[in-house]
Amino acid sequence: MRGQVLPEAALVCNFPRGLMEHREVQTFFHEFGHLVHDILGGDQEWVEFSGVATEWDFVEAPSQMLEEWVWDAEVLASFATDESGTPIPADLVARMREADAFGRALLVRMQLGHARVSYHLHMDRPADIAAASDHWYEVSSPVGKLEGTHSYAAFGHLTEYGSCYYTYQWSLVIARDLLTGFAGLMDPASATRYRREILEPGGRRDAADLVEAFLGRPFTVDAYREFLGEPSS
C-alpha cells in the first residue's frame, strides 16, 4: 500500500552455508511465510491483532501454503541450482513430488499422534508421562516408538503450542483450500488479492471471514482430501 509504513522483522536461522537440501528450502519458505504475514499484517491499530496474532487454528496456514512454491518446477528453476549453476531439472521435481506423496497418509497419522499426545498430556495430566505418550502414539500410527526413549522429551512443541498441536493439521486443511484461490503460483492478481484479504488484516478479522473473503466461499476439506489422495466427491 502506498505510504504504508511496515514494521521491521527478520528471520534468524541456522541453515548451512552454501548449498541447501530441499527440505531445508521448504523449512525456509515455511518460516518466511510467517515473516511475510507478520510484516504485512503488522500495521494494526491494536497490537493484539498485529501480524500473526490470529486464531491458533489458522496461524500456520499461510506458512504451510507457501511451502507449495518449493514443489513447483518453474519456481525452483528460478533459483535452485547446483554448483555449476544448472537449474534443477523439471523431471527431477516431478519425481520428488511423487516421492513426497508416497505414504502421505501415514505421515498424517503420525501428526495425529503428536496432536493426541499434546492434548492428552495437558488435559489428562497422567502420572506416567512416558507411558501415556507411548499409548497415544501406538493407537495413532502403525509406526511404533522405541521403548525407553521418552519421546515426549524431544517434542519441543509441547512447550510452545501446549495442547494445541492439532492446529498444524487443521491449518493444513485451510492452506490446501487457499491454494485453490490462485490462478497460478506466480499469478500477480491472485497474489495481490491474497495479500489484501489474508495477510494485511492480521488478526483484526476472524480467520474464517478472511478465508471466505479470499475464496468467495467458506473453506472446505475437499482440497485436503485430494492432497491425501482421496478423490473429491
Q: Are 117 and 155 in contact (CB under 8 A)?
A: yes
User: Dihedral sign, CA of 155, 162, 227, 137?
Assistant: positive
Of 134, 64, 143, the C-alpha closest to 106 is 143
pLDDT of residue 135: 93
pLDDT of residue 5: 52
pLDDT of residue 2: 40
DSSP secondary structure string for all residues of 6-36: PPP------PPSS---HHHHHHHHHHHHHHH
Burial class (CB in 10 A: 0-12, 13-18, 19+), 63: buried
Question: What is the spatial distance between Cα 182 and Cα 224, in angstroms, rounded to a whole number?
Answer: 16
Partners of 87 in the beta sheet? 81
Catalytically annotated residue among 8, 21, 24, 31: 31
pLDDT of residue 156: 84
- What is the pTM (predicted TM-score) of this model? 0.87
With a CB cutoff of 8 Å and minimum separation 6, the contacts of 143 are 106, 110
Exposure string over 105-142, b if 16+ CB within 10 A, otherwise e? eeebebbbbbbbbbbbbeeeeeeeebebbbebbeebbe
Look up 212 and say whether it is catalytic. Answer: no
List the pLDDT tens digit at each of the 233 positions of the chain. Answer: 344 555 567 888 889 888 999 999 999 999 999 999 999 998 888 877 888 888 888 999 999 999 999 999 999 999 999 999 999 999 999 999 999 999 898 989 999 999 999 999 999 999 999 999 999 999 998 887 787 888 888 888 888 788 889 999 999 999 999 999 999 999 999 999 999 999 999 989 999 999 999 999 999 999 999 999 865 55
pLDDT of residue 3: 45
pLDDT of residue 23: 94
